[in-house]
Amino acid sequence: MSKPSSSPSSKTGPSRRTFLQGGGLLLGFALFGASTKPVLAASTALPVDGDVTAAFSPDAYIRIGTDGAITLILPNIEMGQGTHTGEATLIAEELEVGLDQVKAVDAPPNDKLYATAALGGQATGGSTSMRATWEPLRKAGATARMMLVAAAAAEWSVPVTECVAKLGVVTHQPTGRQLAYGALADAAARQPVPSDVTLKDPKDFQLIGKSSRRLDTPGKVNGAVTYGIDIRVPDMKVATVAACPVFGGKLGDVDDKKARAIPGVRDIVKLDNAVAVIGDHFWAAKKGLEALDITWDEGANAKIGSANIMAALKAASERKKPIMARQEGDVEGRMKAAAKKIEATYELPFLAHAPMEPINCVVHVRADECEIWVGTQVPAIAQGVAAKVTGFPLEKVILHNQLIGGGFGRRLVAESVAQATAIAKQVSYPVKVIWTREEDIQHDLYRPAYYDRISAGLGADGLPTVWVDHVAGGSVLGNYIPSGWPEDKLDDDAVEGAAKPPYDLPVIQVDWVREDPPVPITWWRGVGPTHNVFVVESFMDELAHAAGKDPVEYRRALTKNQPRAAGVLELVAEKSGWSTPLAAGMGRGISLHDAFGSYMAAVLEISVSPAGEITLHRAVVAVDCGITINPNTVEAQIEGGLIFGLSAALYSGITFSDGRVDQSNFHDYRILRNNEAPKIEIYHVKSSESPGGIGETATVSAAPALANAIFSATGKRLRTLPFNRDELKGEGADKKSVSMVPPLAAPLAAALASIKPTDTELEKL
Amino acid sequence: MKRLGLLFLAAVVVVAAGVAIFLFKPASLPDVSEAQAKLPTGQALIDRGEYLTRAADCVACHTTAGGKPYAGGLAFKLPFGTIYSPNITADKDTGIGNWSDAEFVRALHQGIDKDGQNLYPAFSYAAYAQMTTEDALAIKAYLFSLPTIKAEAPKNELGFPFNQRYVMRFWNLLFVPSGPLQPDPAQTAEWNRGAYLVEAMAHCGECHTPRNLMFAVDNGKKFAGAELQGWKAYNISSDKKTGIGNWTDQQLFDYLSKGHAEGRGSATGSMGEAVDFSLRHLTPDDIKSIVTYVKSVPPQTSTDNAIVEAEPAALTASTAYAPSADGAAQDGLGLKLFQGACASCHGWNGEGIQTPYAALKGSRTVNDPDGTNLIQVILKGAHMTTPQGRQSMPAFANAYSDVEIAALSNYVLGHFGGKESAITPEDVATARKQ
Amino acid sequence: MIALNINGEDRTVDVPEDMPLLWVLRDVIGLTGTKFGCGIAQCGACTVQLDGRPVRSCVLPVASVGTRSITTIEAVGATPAGKKIQDAWLDLEVIQCGYCQSGQIMSASALLNRNPDPSDRDIDTAMSGNICRCGTYPRIRAAIKQAAKA
């Protein structure tokens, strides 16, 4: 999207019309269905942002104009994870174009065309994008290429087999004649759609497997790109909003006398559970909001607190009948016969997503249509909620999806789109609703808290003969699906990462007690596995220590029939120097898992000070994510995912008092900073398996590797997240000064004053 | 012997009766008619009352954080229990809506409530006793002009004998002045105005003067500094080393009227509130009067070590964006935390980056090796309404450990104050409870 | 009216004195490259330069800018340090979601402005006030070092 204030109608209307005039064949592929054949798509208009004028539209993903412009319409949104580049790579590989020859745009909301079976709708999440599109997008590219080649062959009246496509040009090899894709676009559109598409042999890949430059980053170094929060449309005003601080509460009275007196405040809009102030700019709106005297009707949740939520989980875990996720072998018998029985309880907190871009949404509700600009992981759902709020039919809700400044699951829900639409509905002009960071932290949908009881029986060799994991927590799916989730049905997310650990555990029981919390919940980066793998991998370490075995050695013994798991385990052990001795106060912890179709082993090296403070020194990660589409992006996701997970393990936890969230901004919902991040090394296991997910994989590894490293450094097992560093304090540490400044004796001070670091010296010049 | 015994018994009875009368005799009401007659009426009276209510800083104690103004309920944790400030809006059920003028004046002058019960001197009536009756009535008129708020303050939590209110009568006899402050003809009008504002209105001594064993302000050590509710009220006598004797008039003026003075840091904690709620609303002339009076208070050398080091070597060698080499010599934790959460506003040279309100140089808080106020301000944050909008520091208590805050405090004291401090995690844990 | 010099251009704006520079840039001038992240100077997404020095524009009252010249992400590429930083950022593929990166780049180029060869400790000092939720910290460090050599 271009910079400020281009007219919305000129942006979408004409381009949509032009696109329709351009005509061409609209085809879609079911992304994850049994059918990978092109199917005729709905004949309705397919509005796509980004001035797509196409002569040739072989499918829902590719537009080729007569001027040679190639636009790829990508089903999954870009929120930093590199999906646009990855998906463009898949199409371009088979279409035989370079990444520098294409422009990537977001797909418009259209559940029929862009739904993935993995998520049951048009959505980006769960590290599914590359896995879900791996085949369909390559087929899309190949189909288009075949039609272009066929058009060229027809033009020259030569056999198709004599023609080769490369970098957007078809060449007739015997004669050297060439036609560019743009010149072929019209003719290609008239070619029959091939029914049988052959994909390249991986050894012939030109783009897949290379660290291609990302498509989305050049505009991110100079402020040129537009995120949802940056949208400006003519006559737009800016709003900020306060929802009832207690979930489920309602708006009572509002005295807005003082707010209306603030220069720049335009309107005050009341909703059922919130109030918004609209101003000429955010500052007026924010000052106006602060000046409101609001009385809330707090409702039934006004007394909830973290302690009673956790107590309810514990009680449910111990008393409620669980839903079985997996049960194999004689669990009870094995447990009785075990030489040693180990049990532990783990507790995990609610978590906020806190992406850097606060929640925002621009909405213009006109007499008969509604236009929305928002970055969302679920465009079709966002369109649907706006249609519901306005009462307009779906096609009257025009949604322009935007670049997202971090999602992590937060933008899988569209409740803020509904809220913004409800605000905009009350005024005639377009409104940009921006939440303050405080609103963002206190009105998130949280990763649920969990209370897990896990146990194992060990045989004479110290290895587990039986494994039992009782998970207790809310159902994310139940919170997500408007119609709810049956009480007696398993929500796979609750046990993902627990039900099938990558170990030889023939006798195993994993079950789940559902106990929905009184606050809204949703997915969070790493979903089920971030929760479950922490428990499984911490406990695996506990078993190793109970058996007197080295944690890597122990895992090695349990992965004899798990070649990919064993592969990453061996690689990480070697690269981390697992068996080399550590200095006092240092610790090394490992975690191993196979979440999202990828295998990952991580070793974290830390130190713990006598006062209990943790320093992260080095992380070594081995990954087998199948065929790697873009190794650099994979590494970036591992680095970032690991830091995201470490941040949460050390600092993050949402707590409640009197029905309210205790945290409010980055000073108390703390995020790991640059000077705390460890050095990270990443090693790939070469693989020809289909690509696995990578966006969340390393987040999963973080907390268990850290828990195990803490144990290695201190001998203390921390089973509650975030880790309470007070528990790591050495004896008497409370009474010792921390980081005492060395005495500044006069000569020393003078000496110090004369030795300035370069930074200081230069600044003074 | 027998007669002597009888005589003794008689004496005991007489004394006991006297004490009983003293303790339980219903308190009489002052005559306020003369003062009433002298007051303006209508908006002029309310305006005067508003100014004086601010000068007396009633809102600071009679409002909870985030609560409605003057609705009371703020907790005071004292060595002998917790008491709560009452609702002083004109609500008839839960506030003072039924109080007569005389009852209000009696409360301010004698610490006696509507029902004749003694109030506790957490309510600074020992200071307000020196207020003129007219000023007291103007304050009442203002409070009664505000919207009423229905809010019952929590019950006090005091053990015996402190829950026996009549005990206060002994205390009052000893420590409460009778009658308004009389001008000193030997001093200027400005000085006398300052004395009145400081003693009868702003009640500076309630925090800044140490208390004796009876918990009364010890005016023999006037303004020598004291500690209460986990914060230090620094020495504000004219002592050059431990007081404000070295402050220029302009620095005092700025600090009192804006909450910040160049080279002296910013007011936080209760002093920050005193500026925010009260002092910044006073006229420049009144602030000047306060400065004149405060500077005249004789020096009191206190034992407090919060002595400002003017040019600590480490600080002088730093720039706004980089610390001097001393930081490198230190254990990393405090420095690391400062890099992450503090330097963006405070900078490394003590001058503040976006606003001078974040300037730490010369502030006693970063020069006190005990770190008392420093720990509190890190835990609880600070707010100030300034000529350029609201300036805030967030409260870091929830996400930073005792160890971290101790390390950060030691670092800050070393870097910005040149102080060798030894703050422990236990100190921080104690501060959290206050 | 408040006079400002933004990216070399003189502007006057009619806004309240206490309005943070961030919102003047974004909502009044239309320079949206500078981002809102926290509003309390804890994340650094709003970093701009005043006379080449980094400031958090979310807590900087516009009236206190005075005569200092404002450089935002849109124009930092025109400065030698800014250009080196941008090139290194792209070369090492530092960026993920990118939302914090305007602020990271402004802080990093201000560091190079005053210190052409920063040590790890200098990088810690200059960059720890900028939060990145995507966790690009290791690459930010590497890119600053690469830019210093360029």
Read off the pLDDT of residues A478-515 as tens digits, 9 standing for 90 and up. Answer: 988 888 899 999 999 999 999 999 999 999 999 999 99
Query: Cβ separation of B410 and A740 shorter than 8 Å?
Result: yes
What is the full DSSP assignment across A255-291? E-HHHHTSTTEEEEEE-SSEEEEEESSHHHHHHHHHH
Judgement on whether residues A47 and A188 belong to the same structural domain of the protein: yes
Q: How confident is the model at residue B249 (pLDDT cuts 50, 70, 90)?
A: very high
- What CATH number is associated with residue B362? 1.10.760.10
In a domain, B408, yes or no: yes
Q: What share of chain A in percent tops pLDDT 70?
A: 89
Same domain, yes or no: B106 and B195: no
In a domain, B210, yes or no: yes
CB B255 within 8 A of CB B331: no
Say yes or no: A122 and A267 in one domain.
no
The residue type at B362: G
| Same domain, residue pair B169 and B197 | no
Chain B residue with the nearest C-alpha to that of A763: B319
Residue A53: pLDDT band (50, 70, 90) is low
Cis peptide bond N-terminal to B161, omega within 30:
yes
**According to the model, what pLDDT value does residue A36 have?**
35
CB contact under 8 A, B344 and C44: yes
Question: Which tokens hold the place of A289?
Answer: 């909001």
Within a domain: B286? yes
Q: How far apart are CA C117 and CA A141, in angstroms?
A: 47
Cβ under 8 Å to C: A residues 594-613: none
Listed as ranges, residues in chain C with pLDDT below 50 are none
Domain identity same for B338 and B211:
no
Amino acid making up residue A41: A
Residue A742 has pLDDT above 70, yes or no: no
Confidence (pLDDT) at B111: 92
The mean per-residue pLDDT over the stretch A20-30 comes to 30
> Does the annotation list B383 as a binding residue?
no
| Average pLDDT, rounded, for chain A | 88
Are B198 and B98 within one domain?
no
The pLDDT confidence band at residue A443, using thresholds 50, 70 and 90, is very high
Residue A67 lies inside a defined structural domain of this protein: yes
**B157 exposed, middle or buried (CB, 10 Å; 0-12, 13-18, 19+)?**
middle
Is it the case that residue A50 has pLDDT exceeding 90?
no
What would the mean pLDDT of A697-714 be, rounded to a whole number?
Answer: 98
- Give domain status of residue B182, yes or no: no
pLDDT for A10 equals: 34
- Say whether B321 and C59 touch across the interface (CB within 8 A): no
Q: What domains sit in chain C, N to C, each tagged with a CATH number?
A: 2-75 (3.10.20.30), 76-149 (1.10.150.120)
Judge if A450 and A422 occupy the same domain. no
Those residues with Cβ within 8 angstroms of residue A400's Cβ, 6 or more apart along the chain or in another chain: A1, A11, A12, A49, A371, A372, A373, A374
The confidence score (pLDDT) of residue A128 equals: 83
E strands present in B2-78: 75-78
What pLDDT shows up at residue A125? 79
Percent of chain B residues topping a pLDDT of 70: 97
Give domain status of residue B18, yes or no.
no
Residue B335: closest CA among chain C residues belongs to which residue? Answer: C125
Greatest CA span in chain A, whole angstroms?
93
Q: Which of B318, B330, B340 sits opposite A673 (nearest CB)?
A: B340
> Considering the domain boundaries, does residue B133 fall inside one?
yes
Rounded to a whole number, what is the largest CA-CA distance in chain B?
A: 89
Contacting partners of chain C (3+ CB pairs under 8 A):
A, B
Of the pLDDT bands very low, low, confident and very high (cuts 50, 70, 90), residue A7 is: very low
Question: Does B207 count as an annotated binding residue?
Answer: yes
Q: Which chains touch B (3 or more CB pairs under 8 A)?
A: A, C
* CA distance readout (Å), A268 to A272, A289, B429: 13, 9, 44
Q: Which of the four pLDDT bands, split at 50, 70 and 90, describes residue B229?
A: confident
Name the strands in the sheet holding A237-243, side by side, starting at the edge strand that comes first in the sequence: A265-270, A274-279, A237-243, A431-434, A360-365, A370-374, A397-401
Average pLDDT score over residue span A370-381:
93
Measured torsion, CA atoms of residues A330, A336, A341, A347, in degrees rounded to the nearest 10: 60
A274 beta partners = A243
Residues belonging to chain B with any Cβ–Cβ distance to chain C shorter than 8 Å: 320-323, 328, 336, 339-341, 343-345, 348, 353-355, 388-392, 394
Choose among C77, C100, C123: nearest Cβ to A222.
C77
The torsion defined by the Cα of A210, A216, A219 and A224, in degrees rounded to 10, comes to 180
Q: pLDDT grade, residue A111 (50/70/90)?
A: confident
For residue A35, pLDDT over 70 is answered with no
Task: Band the pLDDT of A9: cuts 50, 70, 90.
Answer: very low
Alpha carbon of A266: minimum distance to chain C alpha carbons (Å):
15
Could A357 and C99 be called an inter-chain contact, meaning their C-beta atoms sit closer than 8 Å? yes
Contact residues, chain B, for C113 at CB < 8 Å: none
Adjacent-strand bridge partners of B249: none
Do A371 and A469 share a domain, yes or no? no
Nearest CA in chain C to A669: C42
CB contact under 8 A, B341 and C17: no
Q: Are residues A389 and A528 in the same domain?
A: no
Assign residue A420 the CATH number of its domain.
Answer: 3.30.365.10
A756 within domain boundaries: no
Co-location of B169 and B196 in the same domain: no
Q: Provide the mean pLDDT of chain B.
A: 91
- What's the mean pLDDT in A737-754? 44
Give the model's confidence band at B330: pLDDT under 50 very low, under 70 low, under 90 confident, else very high: low
- The interface predicted TM-score (ipTM) is 0.97
d(CA B287, CA B291) in angstroms, rounded, equals 6
Could you tell me if A605 and A649 lie in one domain?
Answer: yes
pLDDT tens figures, C111-134: 999 999 999 999 999 999 999 999
Mutate one of A440, A674, A761 to test the C interface: name it (highest C CB count within 10 A). Answer: A674
Write the residue in C19, C34, C89 that is nearest to A221 by C-beta: C89
Q: Which residue's entry shows tokens 């809310």?
A: A474
Contact C132 A281 (CB under 8 A): no
A665, A675, A744: residue with CB nearest B336: A675
pLDDT value of residue A39? 33
Cα separation, A701 vs A530, in Å, equals 8
Q: Do B276 and B322 lie in a common domain?
A: no
Lowest mean pLDDT: which of A216-220, A449-453, A482-486, B203-207? A482-486
Is pLDDT at A749 greater than 60 in this prediction? no
| Subunit contact C129:B344, Cβ cutoff 8 A | yes
B281 assigned to a ligand binding site: no
What's the pLDDT band for A765 if we cut at 50, 70, 90?
very low
pLDDT over 50 at A177, yes or no: yes
Q: What is the pLDDT of residues B339-389, one digit of tens each?
A: 999 999 999 999 999 999 999 999 999 999 999 999 999 999 999 999 888
pLDDT of residue B405: 96
Q: Are residues B234 and B163 in the same domain?
A: no
Give me the domain span that covers residue A119.
8-219
Angle of CA points B298, B300, B304, to nearest 5°: 155
Do B34 and B164 share a domain, yes or no?
A: yes
CA distance C110 to chain B (A): 10
pLDDT for position A123? 81
HSE-CB at B312 with a 13 A cutoff on CA atoms is 31
* Residue ranges making up the domain that contains B209: 189-296
Judged by average pLDDT, the poorest of A11-25, A601-615, B168-182, B236-250 is A11-25
Residue B275 in 3-state DSSP?
helix
Radius of gyration of chain C measured on its C-alpha atoms: 15
Residues A136 and A248 in one domain: no
Average pLDDT over residues A307-327: 97
Q: How confident is the model at residue A644 (pLDDT cuts 50, 70, 90)?
A: very high
Query: What letters, b where the CB count within 10 A reaches 16 and e where it falls short, cover B301-319?
Result: ebebebebbeebbbbebbb
* C-alpha pair distances (Å), B127 with each of A30, B109, B197: 81, 8, 10
Mean pLDDT of A553-567: 98
Shared-domain flag, residues A236 and A331: no
Tell if the CB–CB gap between A744 and B313 is shorter than 8 Å: yes
Are A368 and A477 within one domain?
no
The answer to whether the CB atoms of A735 and B399 lie below 8 A apart is: no
- B61 marked ligand binding residue: yes
Please tell me which of A61-75, A83-97, A434-448 the model is most confident about, judged by mean pLDDT: A434-448
Residue A754 lies in a domain: no
Size of interface A-B (CB pairs under 8 A): 146
Percent of chain A whose predicted confidence (pLDDT) is above 90 = 76
**A180: which 2 tokens?**
């560019």
Q: Quick one: pLDDT at residue B97?
A: 96
Q: What are the tens digits of pLDDT across the range A717-733?
A: 999 999 999 999 888 88
Is A90 among the domain residues? yes
Shared domain check, A426 and A500: no
Residue A160 lies in a domain: yes
Q: Is there a single domain that holds both residue A420 and residue A537?
A: no
- Test C110 with B353 for CB contact under 8 angstroms: no
Residue B43 pLDDT greater than 70, yes or no: yes
Which pLDDT does position A739 carry in this prediction? 58
* Cα dihedral A614, A620, A625, A629 sign: positive
DSSP string of A56-102, one letter each residue: EEEETTEEE-TT--EEEEESS--SSS-HHHHHHHHHHHHHT--GGGE
A74-110 pLDDT, tens digit per residue, is 888 888 888 889 999 999 999 999 999 988 888 888 7
Of C134, B26, B194, the C-alpha closest to A353 is C134
Q: What is the pTM of this model?
A: 0.91
B391 three-state secondary structure: strand
- φ, ψ for residue A400, nearest 5 deg: -105, 110
Q: How many domains does chain B have?
A: 3
CA distance A747 to A744: 8
* Residue B208 marked as a ligand binder: yes
Q: Do B237 and B278 lie in a common domain? A: yes
pLDDT score recorded for residue B431 = 96
Would an 8 Å CB–CB cutoff place B314 in contact with chain A? yes
CB within 8 Å: A753 and B324: yes
Tell me the pLDDT tens digit for each residue of A119-144: 667 788 777 888 888 988 999 999 99
Task: Tell me how many domains chain A contains.
Answer: 3
pLDDT (mean) for A237-255: 97
Question: Under DSSP, is residue A748 helix (H, G, I), strand (E, B) or coil?
Answer: helix
Q: Are residues A170 and A121 in the same domain?
A: yes
CA distance A349 to chain B (A): 14
Q: Which of A197-201, A518-522, B144-148, B212-216 has the lowest mean pLDDT?
A: B212-216
Check whether residue B171 and residue B219 sit in a common domain. no
pLDDT value, residue A54? 66
Q: Tell whether A735 is covered by a domain.
A: no
Alpha-carbon dihedral sign for residues C120, C124, C130, C136: positive
Judge whether residue A19 has pLDDT over 70.
no
Domain boundary among B175, B204, B221: B175
Q: A386-423 pLDDT, tens per residue?
A: 999 999 999 999 999 999 999 999 998 999 999 999 99
Going from the C-alpha of B56 to that of each of A347, B35, B145, B272, B389, the distances in angstroms are 51, 19, 17, 15, 24
* pLDDT class of A674 with cuts at 50, 70, 90: very high
Asked if residue A440 belongs to a domain, the reply is no
Confidence of residue A118 (pLDDT cuts 50, 70, 90): low
Residue B180 lies in a domain: no
Domain end residue (candidates: B140, B175, B210): B175
Per-residue confidence (pLDDT) for residue A756, from 0 to 100: 40
pLDDT at residue B39 greater than cutoff 50: yes
Residue B303 placed within a domain: no
pLDDT of B1: 55
How far is residue A677 CA from its own chain's centroid?
20
User: How many CB atoms within 10 Å of residue A308?
Assistant: 12
Put simply, the answer to whether C18 touches B336 (Cβ < 8 Å) is no
Q: Do B393 and B356 share a structural domain? A: yes
Distance from CA of C35 to the nearest CA of A (A): 8
